[in-house]
Chain A
Amino acid sequence: MLLKMAWRNIWRNRRRTLISVAALALGVTAIVSLRSIFEVSSTEMARGITTGLIGHAQVHGRGYQDSPEMTNVVPDPVTVEARLANALPGVTTERRVVGAGLAGSEDVSAPVAVLGIEAEKPGARSLLTIVQGRTLDAARPREVVIGTGLARELGLSPGGEMILVGQAADGSLANDRYTVIGTADAGSSEANQTMVFMRLADAQSFFGLGEGVHQIIVRLPTGDEDLSRPVSVLSGALDLSALEILPWTSILPELKGALDAKRKNMRLIDVIVFLIVSLGILNTMTMSTFERTREFGVMASLGTRPRRVLAMVLAEALMQGVIGLCAGAALAWVVLNAIGTTDFSSMTAGTDVLGVRIPPMRLSVTAGPVVEAALVTFVTMIVGALAPAIRASRLKPVEATRYV
């Protein structure tokens, strides 16, 4: 009966109700879409990082992250990988060698970063988007894939010959000749300008590392955002006096920081949007209760308890809230689908020399932001309607019925 009255009341001034519901709906749309874009982008970014160059975590020789020296290697990757797989079944690993050198031909040369990868593993293959030629083949030695920018600078194309000079781990001068078999987009223009990819074994022999590798990329079977538990399980299996294991959030702290800061900004926007909406609600509800002062007086004289009046006014506000929320969420869905996909690669610019590839992502409304918006709407409606509702419930029948 109370709900029925409230329902009828909100449609007595249809235009006003629609306006305030529309304001609320737009607020909800704004927040749900912003949140969803952010959630989707950060999940996708994390996926790009964890499936790409960085992995969920990496094992290095102790101190490598702070000062990456050629001589600081994981000497026996086989044992380490076995221990990791034992500690947390389902993890996959990839070995990497990271080095630097000078590459070119007799007349032109340029400083390069050399990445030795296990070409047979899909994670390593996914680092390379081949533009020309073909990708590395684990069975064919002394072949390289180079970044497109580097290929242009050195005037090399697939089939060409590249000389590489660098310093080996024992201090001697490493030099060798390779066949360029492909050019690749390595994810960023800096990477394209400097990257030389080769088979892990070739890189190990070039830099004189034996079986040693600089990084063991660890990929977890799940897409969990919280890495602290798996990383601590894995680190329990390692000899931490000689090795270190770091989650990607420690390897790219700037990116993690950027995401956290963005999340904080998002909160602030939420607060501002809903502050505006709640002022609107306050206005609407104040108006509608003032208009009905006489009516409330009559209700009170007929014996309606103040508590029921209060409940009725709040119910009116909440009903508008529910309508606004549904409309807003629906609108957000429409908006996000209209935008379709979005490219967030700019968010990662400048965070890592090797570049982190972020694919354009498909937007969708996720449950998280909607639930959040629902909670905030509820609070907003109560806050906006409370003062007018209290006022209405406290009216004295005699005065109120005489109110014009």
Chain B
Amino acid sequence: MTMSIRTPAWSRSIKLQVWARGKDFALIRVLEGGPRETGMMTLKREKQLWTWLPQAGRVMKLPSGMMGDSWMGSDFTNDDLVRGDSFVDDFQAAITGVEKTGGRDAWRVVLRPRPSAVVVWDRIEVLIDRANCLPVLEDFFDEDGTLARRMAFSDFRQIGWRLFPFKMTVVPAEQGRETSIAYSEIQFDVDIPADTFSLQRLRQGR
């Protein structure tokens, strides 16, 4: 897949390959990026992130205080990688209405954090396509109730029995920034070697 980042100062794209098992294990590898980035890998093991730094030739664990920071200069945070789908655990959902979006019916679902959840958002409003139950748009509101970032899903394609959004775009409130991810290929139900998500393997930079 390709991640494109646009900011007022620069814009660039990097090519990534991702392996994932369930929600807890993932490995992201930079196939083509800046000269010092190619070969960089980010390993997600449950709630922790480890990075292989090709130039340094070393692995570094991301400190917990940096979870809210940008991942590789994009508008995705490290937290986005780690939390992924913890919406169910952290939020209380309520359907507030039905709207038309792109000619299709969609539910507007408002997610409010449960008291126990460690969440930076005041609420998240999600538009979910009624026909296929997939999210189309997610609006994140910060504690003042202002829209802090918008995540949009598009280019839905049928892969086997699944329908999958091939394009994901994040637009933060900050002017002139945008990050989008476009999948070029995706395979489901693949056998992944067991050591793919091991730290030993990451340390070797392979």
A residues near B, CB below 8 A? 69, 71, 102, 104-111, 163-165, 167-177, 208
Chain B nearest CB: distance from A156 CB in Å?
14
Contact assessment for B61 and A174 in the assembled complex, using a CB-CB cutoff below 8 Å: no
The answer, yes or no, to whether B68 is at the interface (CB within 8 Å) is no
Q: A102-B60, A176-B53 are in contact. List 17 more A-B contacts (CB 8 A).
A: A71-B10, A102-B63, A104-B63, A105-B58, A107-B61, A109-B62, A111-B66, A163-B56, A163-B58, A165-B51, A169-B10, A173-B34, A173-B72, A175-B54, A176-B56, A177-B55, A177-B58
Contact of B66 among A102, A171, A174 (CB under 8 A): A102
Interface residues of B in 135-179 (CB under 8 A from A): none
Interface residues of B in 35-61 (CB under 8 A from A): 35-37, 40, 51, 53-61
The answer, yes or no, to whether B26 is at the interface (CB within 8 Å) is no
Contact assessment for A163 and B53 in the assembled complex, using a CB-CB cutoff below 8 Å: yes
Please, which residues of chain A bring their CB within 8 A of the CB of B34? 168, 170, 172-173, 208
In the bound complex, how far is the Cα of B54 from the Cα of A164, in angstroms? 12
Q: Say yes or no: A106-B58 contact (C-beta < 8 A), given A171-B5, A172-B12, A173-B72.
A: yes
In the bound complex, how far is the Cα of B66 from the Cα of A111, in angstroms? 9
Give 17 pairs: A residue, B residue, CB < 8 Å, sorted on A. A71-B9, A104-B60, A108-B63, A109-B61, A163-B53, A165-B53, A168-B34, A168-B36, A171-B10, A171-B11, A172-B37, A173-B37, A173-B40, A174-B36, A175-B53, A176-B56, A208-B34
In the bound complex, how far is the Cα of B12 from the Cα of A108, in angstroms? 30
Contact of B63 among A109, A174, A177, A208 (CB under 8 A): A109
Q: How many pairs of A and B residues are in contact by the CB < 8 Å rule?
A: 78
In the bound complex, how far is the Cα of B63 from the Cα of A164, in angstroms? 13
Contact of B60 among A109, A167, A172 (CB under 8 A): A109
Please, which residues of chain A bring their CB within 8 A of the CB of B9? 69, 71, 169, 171
In the bound complex, how far is the Cα of B203 from the Cα of A106, in angstroms? 10
Contact assessment for A175 and B36 in the assembled complex, using a CB-CB cutoff below 8 Å: yes
Q: Say yes or no: A106-B73 contact (C-beta < 8 A), given A171-B12, A173-B36.
A: no
| Interface-centre pick from A71, A104, A108, A175 (highest chain B CB count, 10 A) | A175
Please, which residues of chain B bring their CB within 8 A of the CB of A107? 61
Please, which residues of chain B bring their CB within 8 A of the CB of A110? 63
Q: Which residue of A lies closest to B203 (CB)?
A: A106
Q: Which residue of B lies closest to A178 (CB)?
A: B56
Chain B nearest CB: distance from A31 CB in Å?
51
Contact assessment for B59 and A167 in the assembled complex, using a CB-CB cutoff below 8 Å: no
Chain B nearest CB: distance from A108 CB in Å?
8
The answer, yes or no, to whether B205 is at the interface (CB within 8 Å) is no
Please, which residues of chain A bring their CB within 8 A of the CB of B7? 171
Contact assessment for B56 and A172 in the assembled complex, using a CB-CB cutoff below 8 Å: no
Q: Which residue of B lies closest to A162 (CB)?
A: B56
In the bound complex, how far is the Cα of B56 from the Cα of A177, in angstroms? 5
| Interface-centre pick from B9, B59, B65 (highest chain A CB count, 10 A) | B9
Chain A nearest CB: distance from B98 CB in Å?
40
The 7 closest A-B pairs by CB, nearest first: A172-B34, A175-B53, A177-B56, A71-B9, A171-B10, A171-B73, A163-B56
In the bound complex, how far is the Cα of B7 from the Cα of A177, in angstroms? 28
In the bound complex, how far is the Cα of B40 from the Cα of A69, in angstroms? 25
Please, which residues of chain B bring their CB within 8 A of the CB of A71? 9-10
In the bound complex, how far is the Cα of B183 from the Cα of A387, in angstroms? 96
Chain A nearest CB: distance from B91 CB in Å?
30
In the bound complex, how far is the Cα of B57 from the Cα of A176, in angstroms? 8
Please, which residues of chain A bring their CB within 8 A of the CB of B40? 173, 175
In the bound complex, how far is the Cα of B66 from the Cα of A167, in angstroms? 14
Contact of A165 among B11, B33, B60 (CB under 8 A): B60
Chain A nearest CB: distance from B118 CB in Å?
20
In the bound complex, how far is the Cα of B56 from the Cα of A163, in angstroms? 7
Interface residues of B in 3-28 (CB under 8 A from A): 5, 7, 9-12
Chain B nearest CB: distance from A71 CB in Å?
4
Q: Which residue of B lies closest to A175 (CB)?
A: B53
In the bound complex, how far is the Cα of B70 from the Cα of A102, in angstroms? 13
In the bound complex, how far is the Cα of B63 from the Cα of A153, in angstroms? 13
Q: Which residue of B lies closest to A109 (CB)?
A: B63
Chain B nearest CB: distance from A154 CB in Å?
11
In the bound complex, how far is the Cα of B67 from the Cα of A43, in angstroms? 45
Please, which residues of chain B bring their CB within 8 A of the CB of A169? 9-10
Chain A nearest CB: distance from B18 CB in Å?
17
